[in-house]
Amino acid sequence: MELYEFESKRIFMSKGIPVPRGVVIERIEDVNKVTLKPPLMVKAQIPIASRGRLGGIVKVKSLDELKHVVSRLLNTVIGGLKVRKLLIEEAVDIAREYYLSLTIDRVKRKPVILASSEGGVDIEEVARREPWKIIKHYIDPIIGLRDYELRRIAFKIGLRDSSLIREFMSIARAMYNIFTEFECELVESNPLVLTVNGRFVAVDAKIIVDDNALFRHRELELLRRECREYTELELKAREHGFTYVELDGEIGIIGNGAGLTMATMDLVKYYGGNPANFLDIGGGARAEVVKEAVKILLLNPKVKGILVNILGGITRADEVARGVIEALNEVNVRKPIIVRLKGTREEEGRRILSKVGIPLYEDMDEAAKRVVELVKGEGSGARS
């Protein structure tokens, strides 16, 4: 779960990390209660990157201009998300911008701290253009961060003044404490700025918490229920215990496991289609879960065809097949469905689906190519 910027900054503040003074507003009339001194930054509170390029971050020089910008941004749609909250902050006089984050390296299975003297831009672009400017330091999860490691990182990003090094170390350690305490996938400040007065301030903050750990953090679970924007179908998916994210395409995708589901989405895109969703039924899903997953895609008006790609280990192919059939029996909507089934009880699953004429494929490339053809009207023969 990705927190909104203002939520992340509240956590930063609680751990002693300096952030700009700011207020959150939800109504246009709340502008009259703002007592901050211009110039101000108006920031749309939506969990997407590149808000600035999409017009979601605006600098204003007066209260009159603030009213105009707030009326323009509030309740508008940016990046497909409706802006319901705005964070208004005092602008910071910036001397230098840095990047600082903590995340998980899933290959090495360790936390890693990333730092760079090139903050304020997409870190991916820095990695592509000047990768040597990104300092990467792996953290022993048993020992944690040690002072000499933080000192070395500060020196590598160009800090030489002893007081600035100590301040940087304090912020980095506080971010690491947030990372471990809340069981995060990411804690980031981009940019972490050095002001003209010689102080570090986190003018941006991002925290992404592992969904699997939310039951241990009830205060964050409450935020998810009260503040997150989910579609009706996404909320229904959560009730049934599987991960579903709506996208803008026309081909519905069901997989078991995030990696397989993402690979299936990539194949659909490669063959000229556009994924309508990410839907991971997880490992060991029973027929009931599969049924609800298929029903969600059948009920989504944007979905023109469905690709089910299952590589079964603890997930049984016959359970998947029964779930697909039950969904078709319960929903009076018919769309082309392509299925690729491999693994446990594969033969039984194929037998069940073949009885109702659902096309079955051995190869996931062929299955992805076929569903794209059907949705584009270039072929026939799928269950519809």
- Residues with a known catalytic role: 99, 188
CA nearest to 81, candidates 284, 331, 248:
248
**Listed residue (96, 143, 131, 98) closest to 116, CA to CA:** 98
Length of the chain: 384
Scored b (16 or more CB within 10 A) or e, 81-120 reads: eebebbbbbebbeeebbbbbbbbbeeeeeebebbbbbbbb
- Rounded CA gap, 84 and 202, in Å? 23
Residue with tokens 């004429």: 357
Are 312 and 341 a contacting pair, CB within 8 Å?
yes
Asked if residues 289 and 242 have their Cβ atoms less than 8 Å apart, the reply is yes
Residue 347 makes CB contacts below 8 A (sequence gap 6+) with none
Q: Which of 281, 254, 257 is nearest to 339 (CA)?
A: 254
In angstroms, the CA 101 to CA 179 distance is: 10
